[in-house]
Structures are given as C-alpha cells and as structure tokens.
Amino acid sequence: MTATVSSTPSKPSKQAVATLRHISPGWIGRIIAALATAAVLAYPLVSDDTYYQNMIIISLVFAVGASGLNIITGFTGYVSLGQSAFIGLGGYTIGVLATKFDTVSPWLWVPVAGLVAAGVAVGLGLVSLRSRGPAFVIITVAFLFLMQQVAVNWEDVTGGTAGLLLPLPTWGIDVINWPFYYALVAILAVQLLMTWWIRRSKFGMGLIAIREDETKAATIGINLPVHKVAAFVASSVFVGMAGAVYGYYLTFIDPLGMFAILISVQIILTLLVGGKATLWGPVLGAFLIEPLNETVNNSLGTLGGGNARLFLFGGLLMAVVVFLPNGILPSLAAFLFRRSREGKAGLVGARIETGGGLESLRKHVTVTEAPATDTTPLLAVTGLRKHFGGIKAVDGCSFTVPRGSITGLIGPNGSGKSTVFNLIDNTIAADAGTIVFDGEHIEKVPAWGRAHRGIGRTYQITRLFAEMTVLENVVAAQRSFSLTQLGRPAITGKEAAEASEFLAFVGMHSYRDQKARALSYGQQKMVELAQVLMLDPKLIMLDEPAGGINPVLIERMGQMIRELNSYGKTFLIVEHNMPFMLDLCDPIHVLARGATMASGTPDEIRTDPAVIDAYLGDDFTTTRQDVH
Amino acid sequence: MTQFAQNVVLGLLLGGVYALVASGLTLIFGVMKVINIAHGAFLVLASFIGYTLWSALGIDPLLGILVTSPIIFAAGWLTYKVAVEPIRTAPMTSTVLLTFGLALVLEGAMGAIWGNNSTSITPSYAEESFSVAGLFLPKVDVYGLLVAIVVLGALALILTKTWLGRAIRAAAVNSTGAELVGIKVSSVAALVFALGIGAAGAGGAIIGVLYPFVPGSHYLWIARLLAIVVLGGMGSLNGAVLGAVLFGLAETLTAAYISPSWATAVPYLVVFAVLLIRPQGLLGSHLRQDSVTA
C-alpha cells in the first residue's frame, strides 16, 4: 500500500510510450506509483547519502501533512493555514514527554502525539461550525500563532524560546536515519489508506457535499458537526504522529521552528501543486516542493537569512493560485479526459425524457394510506418571524399543512414565501415562532434533523453539488444518521438502483453520470426533485417547481406531484404560475408582507377581493379563462 | 488616576494611527471582498522607504509621507492589475492565499534590500512630548494622529461627496449592477485597492517612527489589522475607526496593567472571540443570506 512518487524512475522510451498508449492512464499511474514506492523503500538500503535521505525524510513529513490537510481542504473545502500547528504539537508532545520520562523509548510517545493533535483538532473542528471561508482561514492563522505564543510563554513545560533537546538516538550511526525514514513511510501509508477509504465512504461523500454547498448539505440530512469534527480529527492524527517523528529526528524543537507559518505555507503549496481531493496529489507535491526548496536555498543563499525561501514560497503560492488552481493531477486527468472524448457528442443538450413508469416508485417511497380520522395537520407554523436588520421578511406568519394535502403558498414577490421555506427547514434560523411537524416541536432541531424527520425541499434557484455527478447528487441525501453508516460505501448497489428509479421518474436517467454543473436550469430542477425523493420525506416543499421550465415539463411536474400525492406524500408548494396552482392545490395560503392574509380553497382565493387587490389583480379572472 | 488617564490618552493616540491603516484594509474588503493579507507587508514597506528617505536624504519621516504614500499607492495599483484582477471571480480564499503569497514575497524583498536587523527612525523630536494638563503627549503620536485625521477625512469626503465615491459604493453593493449603469468596475476596483494600500503606506510611515521594525513585523501587523476590522465589522469604515480606537486602548492597557508579553496575544484572541461570537463585528451589517444566488 505504501507508495510515493519521486522523480527516480527514468523516462520511458518512445517505443514504450507507443505500447503504453493502449494501457489506460489509470494503470500507467499505478505503475509509476508502484515503481516510485519501490524506489523510496529501497533508497536507504542502496545508498548511504544522508543529504538525499534527509530530503526524503522531510518530503515524507510534508506528504503526511498535505495529505492530512487534503481531507479538510480538498474534500471538505476548509482552507487552513494552521496545519503546521499539528506538526508542532506532535513535536512538542514527544519533546516534553521524552525529556520528562527519560527511561522509556521516545517512540512510545509517537501515537500519543497523534492523540494530542487529534484532541486539539476537535477544537478547531468545533470552530469551523461557526465560521467559514476566509474568516476560517484567518482563524487558523490566529490559531497557529496562539500555539506559538503558548509554547513561548509556558516555559516550565516547553522551555520557552530556548526550546527542548531530545535524547539522542541510541542505535548505530550507520543506520541512524532508518527508523525515522521507515516510520514516516509507514505513517504515510496509513494516512493514504485512510484517505482512500474516506473517498469511497459515505463519510467522504458527505464531506464533498459540505464543500460544494454546506447549507444545502444540511437540508438533505447530512449531520454537519459529526462530519466536520471527524474530518478535522482525520486531518490531524497522523500529522501529529509525523510531527513527533520529525521532532525526534531533529532532536531539537523550539517555538519558531515548530509553529512556523512557512511550514503551513509549504504544506498548502504541496497540496495545491499536487492537486486537491486526489489521493496521490499531496505526495507528488511534497516530492516536488521540498527538493525545490532545498535547491533554491542552497543556490540562492546569498540573498541572506531565508529570504530565498520567502521568494520561492510567496511567488509559487501566487503563481499556483493564478495559473494552476486545480493542481497537477486534476489538470492532467482533465486533459486526458478531454482527449479521450474528442469528437464525441455530449449528452447535455438532449431532451429530458418523458420519464419512466410512475408505478415503480411505490417500491421506493413509503406509501401511507392516511386514515381519514387523523385530522391533525402534518405541519403547523405559528407566529413565524425573521427580520434582516430593518427588513421584516417574515413577520407573524401562521398556517397549517393538512396531512395528505397539496398546499399552496402564494403571494407577491418579496412577501416572504422563500424565507418561510428557509425557516421551516432551518436553512436560516427563525427569530420567533413555533413549527410543529408531525406532532413534534422542531424549532430547535437542526436542518439535518428536520430532513431525517421527513421534510425535504427544493430551492427556487437550484442548489445541486456542482462537482458531483447526477447520481451522486441523488445518493448524497441521507434519510437518517448513524456513526456506522459513515463507514459504508458511498454508493451501494441498492442505493444506485433506487436513485436510478427516481431519476427515471423525473426523466433524467440518461444524465446520471454527468456532472451536475453541466446541466441546464430545468434539468437541475428535476434532479433536485429526485434528490429530495431519496429522503423519502413525508412533506415535500417545492419552491417554484414550474419556474423556468417549458410548458410540457410543467404539465409533467403536475402529474408527478399528483402521483406522489396519491401515495400519501404531502406537498407545500410556492409558485407564481396561478393556473398551475389553482388547479393543483387545496388549500392555498396567501402571504403578504411576511404574514398570512388569506387561506382557503382555490375558489375562495380566486374570488377574495383582498387577494385580488394585493396580488392577483382585477383582470385575473379573464386571464384564467384565456388559458382554458 | 493620572497614570490611568495617561494610558488612556496614549491608547487613543495609537488608535488614531491604527484607524488610518485599518481603514485601507476594510475599504478593500468592502468594495472587492478581498482580504488583503499583504496589507501589513505594505505597511512595513512604507516604514522602510521612510527610513531610507530619512537616513539617506535627510527628509523628515513625517513629511516623507508625501513621497512614501504615492509610491505605495502605485505599488498597490500595480499589484491589483497584475495579480488580483486575474482571479477576481475566484473564491475569496484564493485571494487570501494570493495576497498571503505577496506578503511573503514582499518580506523576502525587504529582507534582501534592508536586511533582517531591527530598524528604527529617530528624528530629533522622537523623544519629545507636549505637556497638556499634566499628561504627556509624545510629539510623534500627536503628529501621527493629525496626519491620520487629515487622510481619513479626505477618504471620507471622497467616499461620500464625489462621483468616484458613489461609484465605489455602488460597486461595493452590486458590481454587476454598477457595470450596467456605466461604472467601469475594474478601474474603480484598481483605484480602491491602490487607495487602501496607500492609506497603509501613510500609516506605515508614521508607525516606522513609533516602533522599531523588521521585515517579519508584517505578521504582527496583519494580525492587529485583521483584529481591528473584524472587531469593527468587515467592510465598515466607521467600524474600522471604532475598532482601531478600542483596540489601541485594549493593547495599551493590557501592556500597562497585565504584561507586555500578553499584549502580543491580544490580536489573536480578539480575532478568535469576535469571529466566533459575533462574526459581523460591532458595526458590520447583518445581510440576508438566503437570497444569495449561485
């Protein structure tokens, strides 16, 4: 399993390239990885050149660091400039413990260092629950410098700015580097194995959903705190261990060397250059950047005191962000993919199919024959309120959604309809009001909890996970949450079959392997509906299902809603297409200025003078007759 | 009591200079949604240029602002055109990394040109003070505050009273809309970037007289500046001024009554606390987030 990519293998000859053309790029990659692994494993045995051994040891440390960072940055989308803090924590753990208990082998403290790093990472993970994007980057820098301050000021334990000297290795001078070398290779192997496993698991799929659209991920049932905290632990535990080996290898640790922002920069560069969200990218990056760093420092040392390193890292960071934002491996993969697809027509422009048999759905959704006696509403909101600064978007809105109904919510633009949706599924938190779903107060339930209880919703402006395929988008929805489920394969055969049925139902089956970003708006609407169905919700909330799609599709949308409704699914629909709504919905609630102004059957609403005045307009009745 | 009043006055004076530098950072964020991590590096660069003007040409370091600021302004404009503009549409974290890279390059350049030894600017009046009602007001701080007030006042006038100011504010609120009504957003953005960094230049020239500096000082400065704008509310000019004054006070009082070594930890703690407890800061607006389009 162990492998690293180095420049050691010689370039294949022209003939070899010609024969290799018939082998898939994936296999070429595997062969290169295997050869490089063998080279790295064999190097200390065949050469005692300590200069290169040292270079590989440092590269291995960065490979572990960047591979760990990959889990929160590449998969989860949180950029951190504090990753070197975990190397520092590992170094200090072994430094402090090895000097205190000098009778036991320092190797004993390597796993402990992993635990310490993981413990601190839990804290950083909790921080990520409250802050995203650039604010999070700033926090990670502050976190790193705070760690440094602690190491400086907590002199009794850390030795302050003077640092700590570790006990010297006790083994023979001729194999002095071997234990460090192979320990790091082993740690990297475990790290890569874990990354590989995460990418294939439900856990990894959840992380990618969080990266693509965190708010949306929560509304399709992904438990954010558990995913994020686990990701931060996974990103740090082996890095802490590598840091401990690194500290022991250096035999000297101090605050400036261990909690260095430049090490963080090198880690992030390593990841960006190699390629985010890839298995081997961080390893490739490490074995490119560190040798480059060494070379530049040796040849440009005349600039004085580390200035060459600053130029190199600063300049590279700028260049990578501007010119190579995707990194080497993803760019290479994209290039090979384009070449393999040359001259083949894309599917994206094809028509949406008429859809598969609606009957097949009965197998996959819970069918409830609602007892006529149960008259408690499925959803009841009372006095819902949300103010944005001075804007009262929702201001005392109350209505109910009867079980088994198709309830409509209409009102002028800006009357608060979409905000009401956002409050019901907790895309945003309400200021006040009660929400009772299926007899249970859910005001304090987080978005994913509401999804698990049976609320599914689509967005007015579709929010699919752009970098996932259509099938992955649908399967990403999680009906319930359990820790064991995180370890299951990302897409099981059963789920794939189920998702395929839903995609067939909405007429999008032949798009299942396309990236969501390639789809048109109308197509995305259909996929989002399939995604919601995957939750098997009791209440399906649709935000403008007929907006921006063609009349045939609107017709089809109406049929689908009725079909699902006949299985006992309750609907709450926001839409401006009045013929569509008056035809489909009963009851209808009218929203104006953030509050419910009228409720009733379509006929009552159509003739209500207040509603005509506020929303429909005097000429509405004639318009409607024109339609039929 | 007098001692306390003395510390408060010193904190307020310091806050004025902080406000000048932080206003540039918050202006750039407000208009472009770019967090310019290189802001501290430009500040230190201005200190070094002021040092050279003073030590080699004998120009008074505070008068030197008239030379330093335009140089830094031009550097800011160039930075925008060369590095920031190509990735305007990229996620905000990309520009954070980009400007971080720029800060490292500037640090390396300053180290190569001026060396990594501690540098200070000591004009004849550096140790002199005005004495008002029994309180000592160091001359450098007072002059610095006056410069800060003049520059900040000019900035405020530009933003509220001129066509350029309206264009800047329009671009800040809705850049596509501004483009549609005939504002050349990329030119406005370049100008704002240069103005913001120019303000850091003016501040850096003053700060060079207040404190000794090395190329690596920019880390501490960017931490301080981020703490200030985060505290005041990112993008809010009034917030930056308020944050700067509060921060100047907090730092001076911490150094006086707790310990100077803890004063360096204050910015990091402020950043942590504010971003976690009240992410929009003191005066930052709480915008609705649900209507954001993809």
Residue in A closest to B95 by C-alpha: A321
A393 interfacial to chain B (CB closer than 8 Å): yes
Please give the pLDDT value at position B135.
84
**Euclidean distance between CA atoms B164 and B141, whole angstroms:** 32
Burial of residue A373 (CB within 10 Å: 0-12, 13-18, 19+) is exposed
> Which residues, numbered 20 to 39 in chain A, qualify as contacts with chain B under a Cβ-Cβ cut-off of 8 Å?
none
**Euclidean distance between CA atoms A287 and A118, whole angstroms:** 26
Put simply, the answer to whether B275 touches A146 (Cβ < 8 Å) is no
Residue B83: CB partners within 8 Å, gap ≥ 6? A318, A322, B98, B102
Mean pLDDT of the A397-423 span:
91
Q: What digits encode the pLDDT tens for the residues A206-240?
A: 999 999 999 999 999 999 999 999 999 999 999 99
Tokens representing residue A41 in the block: 């494993």
Bigger pLDDT: A260 or A61?
A: A61
Of B94, B108, B276, Cβ closest to residue A311: B108
> Which residues, numbered 410 to 469 in chain A, qualify as contacts with chain B under a Cβ-Cβ cut-off of 8 Å?
418-419, 422, 427-428, 461-463
Examine the pLDDT at A109 and tell me if it is beyond 90: yes
Cis status of the peptide bond prior to A587, with omega within 30 of 0: yes
**Euclidean distance between CA atoms B195 and B206, whole angstroms:** 17
Bigger pLDDT: A161 or A623?
A: A161
**Euclidean distance between CA atoms A194 and A200, whole angstroms:** 10
**CA distances, A554 to each of A41, A616, B142, B168 (Å):** 62, 21, 70, 43
Please give the pLDDT value at position A29.
82
Please give the pLDDT value at position A373.
62
pLDDT class of A13 with cuts at 50, 70, 90: low
> Which residues, numbered 110 to 129 in chain A, qualify as contacts with chain B under a Cβ-Cβ cut-off of 8 Å?
127
Tokens representing residue A37 in the block: 């692994």
Put simply, the answer to whether B288 touches A391 (Cβ < 8 Å) is yes
Three-state DSSP at A279 gives coil
Complex ipTM: 0.86
A437 forms bridges with which residues in the sheet?
A379, A440
Instruction: Compute how many other C-beta atoms are within 10 angstroms of the C-beta atom of residue B215.
Output: 26
pLDDT class of A2 with cuts at 50, 70, 90: very low
Beta carbons of A255 and A95 less than 8 angstroms apart:
no
Please give the pLDDT value at position A123.
87
Look up residue B143 and give its amino acid: Y
The CATH code for residues B7-123+135-277 is 1.10.3470
**Euclidean distance between CA atoms B63 and B65, whole angstroms:** 5
Burial of residue A112 (CB within 10 Å: 0-12, 13-18, 19+) is middle
Examine the pLDDT at A622 and tell me if it is beyond 70: no
Instruction: Compute how many other C-beta atoms are within 10 angstroms of the C-beta atom of residue A375.
Output: 8
**Euclidean distance between CA atoms A459 and A461, whole angstroms:** 5
A307 interfacial to chain B (CB closer than 8 Å): yes
Beta carbons of A287 and A33 less than 8 angstroms apart:
no
Spell out the domain ranges in chain B: 7-123+135-277
Domains of chain A: residue spans and CATH: 14-23+51-338 (1.10.3470), 455-536 (3.40.50.300)
Name chain A contacts of B230, Cβ cutoff 8 Å. Answer: 135, 138
> Number of Cβ pairs closer than 8 Å across A and B?
143
Residue in B closest to A73 by C-alpha: B93
Q: What does the DSSP 8-state code read for residue B183?
A: -
Please give the pLDDT value at position A6.
44
Report the alpha-carbon angle B36-B38-B43, nearest 5: 115
b (16+ CB within 10 A) / e for A53-83: bebbbbbbbbbbbbbbbbbbbbbbbbbbbbb
Name chain B contacts of A311, Cβ cutoff 8 Å. Answer: 104-105, 108-109
**Euclidean distance between CA atoms A361 and A359, whole angstroms:** 5
Bigger pLDDT: A61 or B185?
A: A61
Full pLDDT tens readout for chain B, 294 residues: 678 888 888 888 889 889 999 999 988 888 888 889 999 999 999 999 999 999 999 899 888 999 999 999 999 999 999 988 888 878 878 888 899 999 999 999 999 999 888 999 988 887 888 888 888 888 888 988 998 899 889 888 888 888 888 888 787 777 788 888 888 888 888 998 999 999 999 999 999 998 899 998 998 898 889 888 888 887 788 888 999 998 888 888 888 888 777 777 777 788 778 877 877 777 765 444 443 333
pLDDT class of A308 with cuts at 50, 70, 90: confident
Bigger pLDDT: A93 or B281?
A: A93
> Which residues, numbered 321 to 350 in chain A, qualify as contacts with chain B under a Cβ-Cβ cut-off of 8 Å?
321-322, 325
Examine the pLDDT at A1 and tell me if it is beyond 60: no
Of B93, B106, B289, Cβ closest to residue A133: B93
**Euclidean distance between CA atoms A79 and A69, whole angstroms:** 8
Bigger pLDDT: A313 or A24?
A: A313
Three-state DSSP at A385 gives strand
B82 interfacial to chain A (CB closer than 8 Å): no
Instruction: Give the mean pLDDT of chain A.
Output: 86
Put simply, the answer to whether B286 touches A463 (Cβ < 8 Å) is no
Q: A24-28, A273-277, A600-604: which range is least confident on average? A: A24-28
Closest CA to B226 of B89, B45, B39: B39
Look up residue A88 and give its amino acid: G
Please give the pLDDT value at position B1.
65
Mean pLDDT of the A144-163 span:
88
> Which residues, numbered 247 to 276 in chain B, qualify as contacts with chain A under a Cβ-Cβ cut-off of 8 Å?
261, 264-265, 267-269, 271-272, 275-276
Put simply, the answer to whether B104 touches A137 (Cβ < 8 Å) is no
Please give the pLDDT value at position A236.
95
Instruction: Compute how many other C-beta atoms are within 10 angstroms of the C-beta atom of residue B279.
Output: 16
Q: Choose the mutation target among A153, A219, A297, A310 for the interface with B, i.e. most B CBs under 10 Å.
A: A310
Q: A22-26, A41-45, A497-501: which range is least confident on average? A: A22-26
> Which residues, numbered 86 to 115 in chain B, qualify as contacts with chain A under a Cβ-Cβ cut-off of 8 Å?
86-87, 90-98, 100-109, 111-112, 115
pLDDT class of A354 with cuts at 50, 70, 90: low
Examine the pLDDT at A628 and tell me if it is beyond 50: no
Put simply, the answer to whether B101 touches A388 (Cβ < 8 Å) is no
Name chain B contacts of A308, Cβ cutoff 8 Å. Answer: 108
Q: What digits encode the pLDDT tens for the residues A506-565?
A: 888 889 888 998 888 888 988 999 999 999 899 999 999 888 788 888 888 888 899 889
> Which residues, numbered 153 to 192 in chain B, qualify as contacts with chain A under a Cβ-Cβ cut-off of 8 Å?
none
Mean pLDDT of the A375-392 span:
88
A572 forms bridges with which residues in the sheet?
A407, A541
Please give the pLDDT value at position B31.
80
User: Is the alpha carbon torsion for A455, A486, A484, A65 positive or negative?
Assistant: negative
Q: Please tell me the pTM assigned to this model.
A: 0.85
